[in-house]
Amino acid sequence: MWNKFQNNNKGFTGLEAAIVLVAFVVVAAVFSYVMLGAGFYTTQKSQEVVHTGVMQASSSIELAGDVVANCTVGSDEISNVTLFLQLTSGGSSVDINKTLIVFTAPGQKPVDLTNNTYTSGKHFNLVEKHNGNGDHLIDRFEKFEVAVPVKDYNIQANERFQLEIKPPEGASYTVHRQAPPSVSGIMILV
């Protein structure tokens, strides 16, 4: 009879199956936790990429009004181009000190112009800030008057030129203009 109890393995088979089943459940739970964590991480990174892409692809600055050109008395060349800049609808603030304006004309190499208050080299001039806080950020409902000296580039009657305004963040804004057939003191460029 003692021999009969030693050879009976029926009880151990059920216990081993239960242990293996619990191990599978634990491994599956850990695996699913890792997969969910990786999925949440990927979703978060995708959201950040989309948000950054939208910010960089949309232009945050635009013209507010006409582009005005000035001519020195007795000259047949444009000496200065004045523009008013503002934010686009929903755009984030733009630091005018970090904004670059690239001047291009036929037969001329592009020239990078920076705000002359803080840098050396070729400049554009911040003429007036139409804002209440006095800083150099273009915020909502604010306009900045910017003068771009072009007298060194010999822009005469009927000549085309381009100003590309590159804010530190976001897409650039390009302004194409042509000098009028007759250059006079103050002109609105179309």
The range of the structural domain enclosing residue 40 comes to 2-57
* Residue in this structure with the two tokens 């964590």, named with its chain if needed: 37
Average confidence (pLDDT) over 142-150: 91
- 93-117 pLDDT, tens per residue? 888 889 999 999 988 899 999 887 5
Of the three residues 57, 75, 102, the one that is the final residue of a domain is 57
Would you say residue 91 has pLDDT above 90?
A: no
115 and 158 belong to one structural domain: yes
pLDDT at 67: 94
111 and 87 belong to one structural domain: yes
Size (the chain), residues: 190
DSSP state of 93: P
Q: What is the pTM of this model?
A: 0.68
Would you say residue 55 has pLDDT above 70?
A: no
Beta carbons within 8 Å of 100's beta carbon, 6+ residues apart: 112, 113, 114, 165, 166
pLDDT at 153: 87
Question: How many Å separate Cα 88 from the centre of its chain?
Answer: 12
Give the confidence band of 72 by pLDDT, cuts at 50, 70, 90: confident
Quote the CA–CA distance of 113 and 103 in Å, as a whole number. 7
Of the three residues 30, 57, 84, the one that is the final residue of a domain is 57
- 2-25 pLDDT, tens per residue? 555 555 555 566 777 888 889 999
**Mean of the per-residue pLDDT values for the chain?**
84
Average confidence (pLDDT) over 37-41: 90
pLDDT at 171: 81
pLDDT at 3: 56
153 and 83 belong to one structural domain: yes
Share of the chain above pLDDT 70, in %: 87
